[in-house]
């Protein structure tokens, strides 16, 4: 999947570019598999392979400002991640973590229908944990 941001916020643009590089990085993907036990690694290897092969899919990153809403928006049908800039600090690191966290939720929910909810949550937590080291 490709991350696309067409807005004017240079901090978000930089974070989207970096997130795209991280998600495609074989080193990042290997780190994810290394943090899983053997049984889980075999199960999730297929998901990672699919992520690499789905280069034609685009995920649109948008921004909005709403100080009363404390979450970002994920629209799985439209392949959109909406970042609430009111709750994000002016830090590329935090924006990057938020993009990858929401991307992993979107991708896991769309492409891992064979996993149960606990397995999806487990994989999502692992991705968030490793992302903090890269941000």
Asked if residue 47 has pLDDT above 80, the reply is no
Q: What average pLDDT does the chain have?
A: 80
What are the two backbone dihedrals, phi and then psi, of residue 35, each rounded to the nearest 5 degrees?
Answer: -90, 10
pLDDT of residue 60: 92
In DSSP terms, which residues pair with 82 in a beta bridge?
Answer: 62, 73
Indicate the pTM of the whole model: 0.80
Report how far residue 50's alpha carbon sits from residue 71's, in angstroms, rounded to the nearest whole number. 28
Residues, the chain, total?
Answer: 135
pLDDT of residue 125: 78
Summarize pLDDT for 4-23 with one digit per residue, the tens: 999 998 889 999 999 888 88
Q: Which has the closest alpha carbon to 71: 59, 88, 96?
A: 88
Asked if residue 83 has pLDDT above 80, the reply is yes
One DSSP character per residue, 90-134 reads S-HHHHHHHHHHHHHHHHHHHH-TTS-HHHHHHHHHHHHHHHHHH
Report how far residue 94's alpha carbon sits from residue 66's, in angstroms, rounded to the nearest whole number. 17
């Amino acid at each position: 999947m490709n991350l696309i941001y067409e807005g004017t916020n240079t901090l978000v643009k930089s974070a989207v570019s970096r997130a795209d590089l991280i998600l495609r990085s074989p080193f990042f993907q290997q780190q994810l598999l290394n943090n899983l036990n053997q049984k889980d690694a075999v199960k999730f290897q297929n998901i990672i392979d699919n992520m690499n092969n789905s280069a034609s899919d685009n995920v649109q990153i948008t921004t909005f400002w709403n100080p009363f809403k404390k979450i970002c928006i994920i629209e799985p049908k439209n392949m959109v991640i909406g970042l609430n800039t009111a709750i994000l600090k002016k830090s590329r690191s935090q924006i990057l973590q938020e993009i990858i966290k929401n991307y992993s939720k979107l991708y896991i929910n769309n492409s891992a229908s064979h996993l149960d909810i606990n397995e999806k949550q487990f994989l999502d937590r692992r991705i968030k944990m490793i992302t903090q080291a890269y941000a």
